[in-house]
Structures are given as structure tokens and as C-alpha cells.
Amino acid sequence: MSYMKNCTLDLLGIKDSRLQFDPKYKNKVTTDDFYNHRKARFIHLLQSYPCFCPVCGKKMKRNGFKTVEMVGLPSGGLTNIFSIRKQKYLCPSSAACPKTITKLAEVQDVKANARISQAVKYQAVSKLGQNISQKYIATDFCISSMTVMRFAQGVSTYLKPNQHYLPQNIAFDDFKSGNFSQSGMSIIVMDIATHRTLDIVRSRQNTYLRSYFLQYDRQARWAVQTVTVDLYSPYRAFIHDVFPNALIIADRFHVITQAYRALNQVRIQAMKQAGHGSHNSRALKHYWKLLTKDSAHLDFKHYHKSRNFRNLQLCEQDIVERLLAMSADLRLAYNYYQTLLQAVHQGNPALLEELTQSAAGLPDPVKKTNRTLRKHRQEIKNSFETTFSNGPIEGTNNKIKTIKKTAYGFRNFENFRLRILVELKNSYVSLNFHSAIG
């Protein structure tokens, strides 16, 4: 019988061998009742053992009991509440003990005055690595949502980045974080070679980024060889100061996006010139994706009915040619976009140089794009020599959007940062965090 009791206690997650089922309740050691407006299973336990005075060292007298309720892990669809009758102890004042000493029986692995078991704390914190809301986790374990985050903050040691080390190849990009910074944008810093997130920085402002990275050792910063970023100009000055030995690599995705947006602007201008509801306007709106597709991938073999061209049997190349015939500016913007695609995909610096050499006769949106690319053409050429890009960061950005959506937003940046780093399974913080609670 004693063996079965020990097995039952072990299944309930009770590791303290001094805890036993309360004999006061005889054969009814569990009762069902409500706890925090939820139905729960109350397990009645007794904690009593010989206790010695910490002052005089004598055995203390037993002085009644105090019932304490502690939240345990759920089982069988109900939350387990450990109702523990703890022994109270008393050591009266005497010559050996100048003042009266009182104590309460303690439970192993549970701090004094704590009302939540360690097992619940670890399980609640580990759930933060899943894409479920903090409130849902709290409800599952019959605790408050802020209690969950407070437990996570208790292992804050693992949230601090190692300021004595930086990878040789890093990348960073901004994402919309809300009101945590003046610009409304925060920064993801990543080891671009391993795709592991290093940290989330509150603001993308130069002064903030400079002060953040200057926390790292000089040796660590000087060891950085490449920094992959978008074409946001203010980053350049601070990168040269903080990472003097680093080569700046322009992200290819953002390079293409510059021409992509210019092409779309010219297309919309052509639609407006054609007039609302006109044939040209409808065709340019319906087939806009074909204009942004790489011309090398346009289908020229299969013909289908084209509703905007009187149901003629046309292939994709035919449709694009008909669209470009509607506007001279659109053709110029399209040719510029396709040439840039070719230069980037082939890693051809000569073609890039030729493309950005002159913008004479190009539409205004394309001229603006050309100025930007010409300004950063050396960084774009650097991207031709490596495989690094901000693609992994863009994927992480999508993950952050999902986290924000699930949580219905965050009001505290540190909690926001914690949730992101813990939920990103391959981040250094997440690896340390889960090993600490595991």
C-alpha cells in the first residue's frame, strides 16, 4: 500500500518524500471543488517532520497546523490543487534561545510562501515557445497571465546577449514594433551564416544602435567581416564606426524592390492616363503580375483565352508585349527592371555599372531608383560575391507578425523581446533558455 501511495505521489509530480496523504481524510484524499472560478481537484496532503531550532539546535515543539493551497500540474482534464496541512513549530524563549522561534514545515523545491509548484512554473514557461497566447497558457495552468511572464523573467540571465562575442557575418533589418521607439521600428540582429537570431534591439535610430553595439567588446566588433543590410542610408555611418573592418553587403531583395516599386508606380500612372474603366486601364490592372515576372520565366508555349484582349489565344509573352505597347514610359521602366533582375541573378557587376551609368529619358520614379542604386552600387556588387541576404530575417519578421497577432499586441518591450527570442527556436537565447528550464 505504501508503495502505491509513493507511485501516486510521484505521478502527481510530488518529489518531497516527507509529504503524504492526509490521514484526516482517510479514503477520500481527493475532492472536487472550484479554484479561481474553475473546477479543480483538491488533493489533501500532510507535511510533518522533526524540526530543530536554527538558534539553539533543540528539537522544536509541534504547534498545530496551517493549511496551504498550492497549484500543481493538471491531470485528467482538471487542475490539481495540493491542499497541504503544514505542521507549525515552536521553540519557546529560554536561556539558550533568547526569543521565541516559530517555523512552518517546508516543501522541497518550493520557496517559502510560494503557492505555485516548480513543475507548473517550468511547464508554463516552456509553453512560451509555442505560438499560443500568454492568457491561454495561464488559463491552462489556473494562474494569471502576468504570473507566466514573471516566471519567464526569473530566468533573465539567459536573455542577455554575450557581449564578448559577435559572429563574423551579421545582418540586421527593421520591423514594425509599435510605440516602443520614436520611429515605431525595432531591429532584428542575426548571424546570417547560421540564421540564428542574436537579439532584438528596441530602436533603429543611429544613436541607439551605436550605443547598443558599443556594449560589445572592441575585439568582438572588429572581428565582424560582413554586415548585410537594406539600402537605408543612415545605417552606413554607424556601421563604419562600430565595425571598421566589415564589408557592407546590400540585400538583393531590397535592391530588386526599388525597381519593382518604380515599375508599379509607372504602371499606375499609365492606368490613370488611359482613364478609369478603359480597356488599357483594365488590362494593366488585371495582368500586373506578368509585368513583375522575370522575362526569362514568361511562358511562350501555352496559349489561353485572354479576356481583356477579346478572348484571343495569347501566351504570357504576347500579353506583356501588348501591355508595354500601351505606354512608352512603361516599356522603359520594364526594361530597367528586367535588366536589374538579370544583373542581380547573374551577379554581373559590369551590367549593373552600365545600367546605373545614366538615367536620361527614364520616367521620374525610375530616375529616383537609379540614384539610390548608383549611390549603393559598390555594396550591391559586394552582394554578388557572397550568398548572404536578408531572406532569413524577412522570414523572422513574418514570425514576429504572427506572435503580435496571437498576443493581440504588447505593452512592454522587454516582454515582447522575451517572447520573440524564446519562440524563435534557433535563436541563441531560446537554446539557452530551454536548456535552463529543461
The pLDDT tens digits of the residues spanning 56-106 come to 888 999 999 999 998 988 888 888 999 999 999 999 988 888 889 889 998
The three-state secondary structure class of 152 is helix
In a 3-state reduction of DSSP, which class is residue 400?
helix
Residue 162 has a CB neighbour count (10 Å cut-off) of 13
Domain topology for 158-251+389-437: Nucleotidyltransferase; domain 5 (3.30.420)
Quote the strand ranges of 296-385, DSSP E: 304-306, 312-314
Mean pLDDT computed over 205-232 = 94
Alpha-carbon span 171 to 243, nearest angstrom: 12
User: pTM of this prediction?
Assistant: 0.80
Residue 436 pLDDT > 80:
no
**d(Cα 248, Cα 78) in Å, to the nearest integer?**
56
pLDDT at 16 over 80: no
Beta bridge partners of 79: 40
Q: Which is more confident, 24 or 322?
A: 322
Instruction: Give dist(CA 246, CA 227) in Å, integer.
Output: 6
How much is the average pLDDT of 403-413?
82
The H or E element spanning position 265 is helix 252-274
Annotate 162-174 with DSSP letters as a single string. Answer: -TT---SEEEEEE
| Distance from C-alpha of 119 to C-alpha of 199, rounded to nearest angstrom | 28
N-terminal to C-terminal alpha carbon distance within the chain = 32
What average pLDDT does range 151-158 have in this prediction? 73
Residue 355's pLDDT is what? Answer: 94
CB 104 within 8 A of CB 88: yes
pLDDT digits (tens, 9 = 90+) for 269-316: 999 999 988 999 999 999 999 999 999 999 888 898 888 888 888 999
Give the C-alpha separation, 203 to 235, whole Å.
12
The tens digit of pLDDT for each residue in 116-153 reads 888 888 888 888 888 888 888 888 888 888 888 888 77
Model confidence band, residue 386 (pLDDT cutoffs 50, 70, 90): very high
Q: Report the pLDDT value the prediction gives residue 150, as an integer from 0 to 100.
A: 85
Quickly state the pLDDT bin for 2 (edges 50, 70, 90).
low
Domain boundaries of the chain, sorted by first residue: 2-115, 124-154, 158-251+389-437, 253-384
Q: Name the phi and psi angles at 313, rounded to 5.
A: -80, 105
- How far CA 362 is from CA of 262, 288, 308, 435, in Å, comes to 11, 20, 28, 57
pLDDT of residue 7: 63
Taking CA atoms, 141 is separated from 16, 120, 356, 408, in Å, by 21, 7, 60, 20
**pLDDT greater than 60 at residue 438:** no
d(CA 323, CA 288) in angstroms, rounded, equals 9
Tell me, what's the pLDDT at 157? 66
At 67, phi and psi to the nearest 5? -90, 125
Report the percent of the chain where pLDDT is more than 70. 93
CA nearest neighbour of 434 among 133, 120, 155: 155
Residue 3 has pLDDT above 60, yes or no: no
Kindly state the average pLDDT of the residues 191-209: 91
According to the model, what pLDDT value does residue 9 have? 67
Give just the sign of the alpha carbon dihedral 389, 392, 163, 415.
Answer: positive
* Mean pLDDT value of segment 30-58: 89
State the average pLDDT over residues 387-408: 88
Write down the pLDDT at residue 263.
Answer: 97
Instruction: Give the per-residue pLDDT at 123.
Output: 85
Positive or negative CA dihedral for 22, 24, 26, 29? negative
What is the mean pLDDT of the segment spanning 210-239?
A: 94
> What is the model's pLDDT at position 1?
45
